[in-house]
Amino acid sequence: DLRGARRRKALAIAPQWYQYRRKTDDLLQWLDDIERSVAELPDPAEEQRVKEIGSEFDEKSEDLKEVQGLAKELSDAGATSLVQPRLLQLNTRWQEVEAKFTPYRRQSVSSLCPVPICPVPTCPVSTRVGFNSM
């Protein structure tokens, strides 16, 4: 019967769903905390603090990828309507907070790397546009 099939399906994905909820809650809380930290940065920002926040973003981006993978698994299992609103909220918040931090990160890196087109491949500020044509 259809009701029984739905119940079995819900029970099968329940552990993943709770893991997804916990991880999205954790990331949303972290985004609130880090947004406050970014708002409290002095102008000009302390380079060490900018590096710390940048490192946190790098670490948490791995968590975000993991959550996005869980969301895909849950969506593939038929839970798209449950997963998508939370994922959209998380992705939107991530972009908002990252956009607030980006100017500080650029300012910090540009003090280390004043070349507008930098040959350093890991330079997050560099446009690297046209570097090969120099």
Q: How confident is the model over 3-47, as pLDDT tens digits?
A: 777 777 777 888 999 999 999 999 999 999 999 999 998 878 788
Delineate the domains of the chain, giving CATH numbers in brackets.
Answer: 2-133 (1.20.58.60)
**Quick one: DSSP state of residue 46?**
P
Q: What is the pLDDT of residues 72-121, one digit of tens each?
A: 999 999 899 999 999 999 999 999 999 999 998 887 765 555 555 555 55
Q: How many residues does the chain have?
A: 134
**DSSP-derived 3-state class of residue 122:** coil
Q: Are 95 and 101 in contact (CB under 8 A)?
A: no
| Identity of residue 38 | V
pLDDT value of residue 5? 72
In the numeric block, which tokens belong to residue 25?
A: 């809650």
Report the alpha-carbon distance of residue 85 to residue 74 in Å, rounded.
13
pLDDT, one tens digit per residue, over 36-55 is: 999 998 878 788 999 999 99
pLDDT of residue 8: 78
Q: What single-letter DSSP state applies at residue 45?
A: P
User: What's the CA gap between 81 and 34, in Å, rounded?
Assistant: 29
Cβ–Cβ under 8 Å, residues 77 and 9: yes
